[in-house]
Amino acid sequence: MEELRTPFRVTAGRFLRSVRIFMSSEVGGAAKLLTVCLVALFLAINGLNVLNSFVGRNFMTAIADRQIAEFVRQAVFYLLVFAGSTIASVFARFTEERLALTWRDFLTRRAVNLYLTDGAFYRLGVSGELSYPDQRISEDIRAFTVTTLSFLLMIFSSGLTILSFSGVLLSINPVLFAVAVVYAACGSLLTIWLGRPLIKLNYDQLDKEASFRTGLIQARENAERIMLTGSEPRMKSFLAGRIDDLVTNFRNITSVNRNVGFFTTGYNWLIQIIPALIVAPAFFRGDIEFGVITQSAAAFAMLVGAFSLIINQFNSISNFAAVVARLSTLLEAIENSQRCRPEIQIDSTRDELSYEKLTILSDRGGSPLLQDLTAVIPARARVLVTCAREDQGSAFFRATAGIAYPGAGRIFRPAGERIRFLPQQPYLPPSTLRQLLVPPAANSEISDERISLLLAEFELERISKAGGFQQEVEWHTFLTQREQHLLMLASVCVAKPYVILLERTEVMVGWDTFFRIMTRFANDGIACVHIGSAANISAYDAILDLGDGGGWQWRKPR
């Protein structure tokens, strides 16, 4: 688990940059309009609060003086002010939620794009530099946008309240104003001192909760293997350990909250009596009306509440600080992963696949798996890659795909969709059949009938009968491993890339079917590089033998 290590200055800079990017984005216009509406609504709410304090004072004075007509008039004013405050408050809350949703939508999409660009998600997972990036992108961004906006509005509202009610308190009793300032300042300092450990504890709690959820997901996704291997007791022990971790950390959080709660509860109770203690003697002397006591109590509570933002919101602030730190760490890790380039260079500017002095070393021990390979894969060619060691084929396949391996040399290959890779364990994301088979650029050119014919050619008629052309399907649960491979191979016939690399595909689909598909690829002008074994090497145009110790040989089949 990474530590809370990002400097505050860097975190604050990233926060401000995030706001600037949001406000200057394609949704920035709508965000600025919502912000202006929020400011106007909060100004209205604050003005109504000040007006309400004077209406309340006159209302209570009318009761004390038994003035029925004035009582009725002030009661009507009271109702009008309450109605206005209610309308303004409801619309302010609605506007705040819309702005927070707009911000979350923008930040989440941006984070996902950064995370899934240039293999950052893979490098973060392999390096172990960052724990649970999925939670940071989903939960932490949600908390960040909602809480940030809430805090900014509370600070703005508190500033307005301080400006408005400072004048009210000063007009009643300057001593009461001074007491409010000193009381709030001392309370804020003590709250920070008592609750400071919450920032680290909340930071850790988010990771521990994510760890527990990840364990539950592992149990669900590996249910059959857990049953077959009798691993339930070990899985129970694993999950029990995660529960112990999060419960222990949460106990520490509740202990700190208890200490903070003792102070803040007493602090808030005293707010109710301090104004009366200071103002009551003036009422006893007849210097002020009775309504001034209630007005001073309300104004004091409003002013101290505005000054006491840290006290009243410390738990939320500590959570917010943890979330900001976690998102800052996520951004830092993505930036670091993008700066780390593998020693094997990938050049995606050519239409053919070729290798120039390619050397691949084992990531365990650094022994050579391949040394100084220089070869060109001809267009339409069917090339078999055989390996003396199993890890050679895997490393060759993954290095060509751009996954970092220690080594040297250059790999020239087509860009984007013009090269395809089919690993031994493919992944089919949840999607419609059309989304899975048809590239976006060719979506309107490929009819459902043509897709059905292609599925029949690849022995996948049951998919056509089951539908799925417009319905999203969880393919990894709906299809067998063989069907998943065949479906990915069928998608190649639609995309027509220049080159496809296959990893031990013959094991999953059978040699006869695989030979027929390779022939189809060659007829479509697709070069096929097959890493595996062959029942008939004469079916290939060339063979690349990877020998033990990193040696290699390029030869024609006999």
CATH number, domain of 218, equals 1.20.1560.10
The answer to whether residues 365 and 294 belong to one domain is: no
Mean pLDDT of 71-88: 87
First to last CA, the chain: 55
- Identify the weakest region by mean pLDDT among 11-15, 48-52, 431-435, 554-558: 11-15
pLDDT of residue 552: 92
Is residue 230's pLDDT more than 80?
Answer: no
Does any domain span residue 2? no
Q: Output 432-437 pairs: Cβ under 8 A, ≥24 positions apart.
A: 432/468, 432/469, 432/470, 432/471, 432/472, 432/473, 433/463, 433/468, 433/469, 433/473, 434/469, 434/470, 436/475, 436/487, 436/491, 437/487, 437/490, 437/491, 437/494
Is residue 283's pLDDT more than 90?
Answer: no
What are the angstrom distances between the C-alpha of 508 and each of 256, 278, 334, 458, 518? 57, 86, 36, 13, 14
pLDDT of residue 529: 94
Does any domain span residue 1? no
- Where do we find the tokens 């406000």? 23
pLDDT of residue 4: 47
Is residue 443's pLDDT more than 50?
Answer: yes
Mean pLDDT of 448-469: 78
- CA–CA separation, 217 and 209 (whole Å): 13
Q: If 0-12 CB within 10 Å is exposed, 13-18 middle and 19+ buried, where does residue 37 land?
A: middle
The answer to whether residues 335 and 361 belong to one domain is: no
pLDDT of residue 3: 47
Mean pLDDT of 434-445: 74
Is residue 465's pLDDT more than 70?
Answer: no
CB of 195 within 8 A of CB of 263? no
CB of 91 within 8 A of CB of 34? no
- Where do we find the tokens 């200071």? 278
Print burial letters for 427-463: b (CB count within 10 Å at least 16), e (below 16): ebeeeebebbbbbeeeeeeeeeeebbebbeebebeeb
Q: In what order do the strands lie in the sheet with 407-412?
A: 345-347, 407-412, 353-361, 368-377
pLDDT of residue 357: 92
* Domain closes at, from 339, 354, 379: 339
What's the residue count for the chain?
Answer: 558
Number of separate domains in the chain: 2
Mean pLDDT of 511-530: 90
Contacts of 346 (CB under 8 A, 6+ apart): 402, 410, 411, 413
Q: What is the pLDDT of residues 323-357, one digit of tens each?
A: 676 676 776 666 666 555 557 888 888 888 999 99
CB of 143 within 8 A of CB of 320? yes
The answer to whether residues 294 and 275 belong to one domain is: yes
pLDDT of residue 124: 63
The answer to whether residues 282 and 318 belong to one domain is: yes
Following CA atoms 95, 99, 105, 111 in sequence, which dihedral angle do they give, to the nearest 10 degrees? -160
- CA–CA separation, 296 and 175 (whole Å): 12
The answer to whether residues 509 and 399 belong to one domain is: yes
The answer to whether residues 331 and 450 belong to one domain is: no
The answer to whether residues 183 and 158 belong to one domain is: yes
- The CATH number given to whatever domain includes residue 475 is 3.40.50.300
- CA–CA separation, 171 and 84 (whole Å): 26
- CA–CA separation, 547 and 558 (whole Å): 19
The pLDDT confidence band at residue 241, using thresholds 50, 70 and 90, is: confident
Q: What percent of the chain has pLDDT over 90?
A: 13
Does any domain span residue 201? yes
The pLDDT confidence band at residue 385, using thresholds 50, 70 and 90, is: very high
- CA–CA separation, 104 and 532 (whole Å): 46
* Domain closes at, from 315, 339, 363: 339
Q: What percent of the chain has pLDDT over 70?
A: 81
Does any domain span residue 154? yes
What are the angstrom distances between the C-alpha of 200 and each of 120, 164, 188, 252, 498? 27, 36, 19, 11, 52
Contacts of 180 (CB under 8 A, 6+ apart): 169, 300, 303, 304, 307
The answer to whether residues 322 and 466 belong to one domain is: no
Q: What is the 3-state secondary structure (H, E, C) of 210-233?
A: HHHHHHHHHHHHCHHHHHHCCCHH
CB of 103 within 8 A of CB of 149? yes
Does any domain span residue 149? yes
- Identify the weakest region by mean pLDDT among 191-195, 384-388, 394-398, 455-459: 191-195
The H or E element spanning position 515 is helix 511-523
- Identify the weakest region by mean pLDDT among 138-147, 315-324, 423-432: 315-324
* Domain closes at, from 300, 321, 339: 339
Contacts of 66 (CB under 8 A, 6+ apart): none
Task: Kindly report the pTM of this predicted structure.
Answer: 0.55
The answer to whether residues 536 and 417 belong to one domain is: yes
The answer to whether residues 45 and 89 belong to one domain is: yes
What are the angstrom distances between the C-alpha of 209 and each of 35, 133, 239, 287, 543? 34, 13, 11, 60, 51
The answer to whether residues 146 and 199 belong to one domain is: yes
Helices (H), 222-370: 223-228, 232-284, 290-307, 309-312, 314-339
What type of residue sits at position 545? D
Q: Can you give the residue range of the structural domain that contains 543?
A: 345-555
Q: Would you state the structure tokens that stand for residue 239, as one six-digit string?
A: 């999950």
Contacts of 234 (CB under 8 A, 6+ apart): none
The answer to whether residues 279 and 419 belong to one domain is: no
Does any domain span residue 3? no
CB of 120 within 8 A of CB of 317? no
pLDDT of residue 528: 94
Is residue 204's pLDDT more than 60?
Answer: yes
Q: Which of 157, 155, 27 is nearest to 98 (CA)?
A: 27
pLDDT of residue 1: 44
Q: What is the pLDDT of residues 35-48, one digit of tens each?
A: 899 889 988 888 88
CB of 53 within 8 A of CB of 295? yes
Print burial letters for 289-318: b (CB count within 10 Å at least 16), e (below 16): bebbbbbbbbbbbbbbbbbbbebbbbbebb
